[in-house]
Structure 1
């Protein structure tokens, strides 16, 4: 059973992406789930998937390798009466077809953006896809921190077309969504630190929190964007 330090890592996060309630509702309305099967590849704890199916006859399947996140999702789905199965599996190895699919912030599981979009084209004809892009010219420090495989938004859309997708809906995370995402990604560990100042892990946790905050505000705030695409074939 994970201890409270492990559970604190993402405990303050609603979902593991820069997204607010209004934006999430818009994306799910564009995904247009009516029934059948909805798969979320790289689901984490599957909050978007649960919302996609809980008021419909649809059934959900959440696929991820994070056991702690999957357990959180199972509890949430059970408590809310959502018909979602959580499976511990590498998203890129899942094979099957679904009426709708989600893949938000999980292109790395497939080896990158192009590989993810190509693989997902074999899964469904309607996809909610979320991925990072450069919203401004990145500095060397940003590339060193985040990698050199991030695309610009025009290049991301061209990659969608090249892999057989058409863009039904496009929106991007705004600055408030980003700030809330970054803040909540640290908040769980900060609350743990305040409650356990003398724990042997306290100094390392304090350093991690300070480093993450500095990296965000000095290196990629306003530079890294996040796009939400509802794609169809």
Structure 2
């Protein structure tokens, strides 16, 4: 897809994760934000990072990603809201600047695996700090198609918590995305392109967009709705 459509696909999404407004507020509460440095590794457009910066004005907030489209959206939002949030184009997997607080939500893949992510993040977050870590897990055994989509390395929730403990973390909070959060996430992930498709049915790109939308909805409802879970962990040491 070209840059125009790539930017448009996530345009209706509040954040690129299954998360409601009340759930987001709960997570920010559990992070005990104050002064210091907060880094969001794999931030995308950093909506939760922006919310954190607005909530704790003494916080130094940095978002790190290689997605220039997402970073641009984040910078625009920060400017519109008058927030001094820095968005840095860099490989989050190699980030080594220590921070009192960190977010890493839905970005374990950039480190290679859940285990590798939890171990790497333990080297970034200061010993007295906290990490908000979001990751997928198998809520029930997956079928072959779900395994093919998400790969064989996804853990169950108990195994994910064990991996956090093995990496030296203490689990301070655990919550999971509910079905409504998932349905809203999947619907908004398609909404930008659905709106474009309705307005441009004869565009040469319309067939490819329609195929992607149909396949995504089919895979969701048939293969991983209620099968793939997503957890939010607040971790300390």
- Cα distance between partner residues in 2 of 1:86 and 1:209: 30
- Cα distance between partner residues in 1 of 2:40 and 2:208: 33
| TM-superposition CA deviations, 1:35-60 (whole Å, max 9, x none) | 11100000000000111111321011
Q: How does 1:135-146 map to 2 (within 5 A)?
A: 135-146=139-150
Q: How does 1:50-129 map to 2 (within 5 A)?
A: 50-56=50-56, 57-124=58-125, 125-129=129-133
> How many residues are aligned here?
232
- Cα distance between partner residues in 2 of 1:80 and 1:55: 12
Residue 153 of structure 1 aligns with which residue? 157
Is 1:38 aligned to residue 38 of structure 2?
yes
| Structure 1 alignment gaps of length 5 or more | none
Displacement of 1:7 after TM fit? 2.2
Is 1:13 aligned to residue 25 of structure 2?
no
Runs of 4+ more than 6 Å apart:
none
Of 187, 190, 215 in structure 2, the residue corresponding to residue 186 of structure 1 is 190
| TM-superposition CA deviations, 1:80-129 (whole Å, max 9, x none) | 11221001111101111011000000000111100000000011131000
**Structure 2 length-normalised TM:** 0.96
- Cα distance between partner residues in 2 of 1:55 and 1:78: 16
Displacement of 1:3 after TM fit? 5.4
**Structure 1 length-normalised TM:** 0.97
- Cα distance between partner residues in 2 of 1:5 and 1:165: 40
- Cα distance between partner residues in 2 of 1:77 and 1:222: 35
Residue 167 of structure 1 aligns with which residue? 171
- Cα distance between partner residues in 2 of 1:44 and 1:6: 13
- Cα distance between partner residues in 2 of 1:3 and 1:212: 20
The SS at the match of 1:99 is strand
Give the aligned CA root-mean-square deviation in angstroms. 1.0
| Structure 2 alignment gaps of length 5 or more | none
- Cα distance between partner residues in 2 of 1:130 and 1:111: 15
CA contact 1:98–1:123 (8 Å) conserved in 2: yes
CA contact 1:63–1:91 (8 Å) conserved in 2: yes
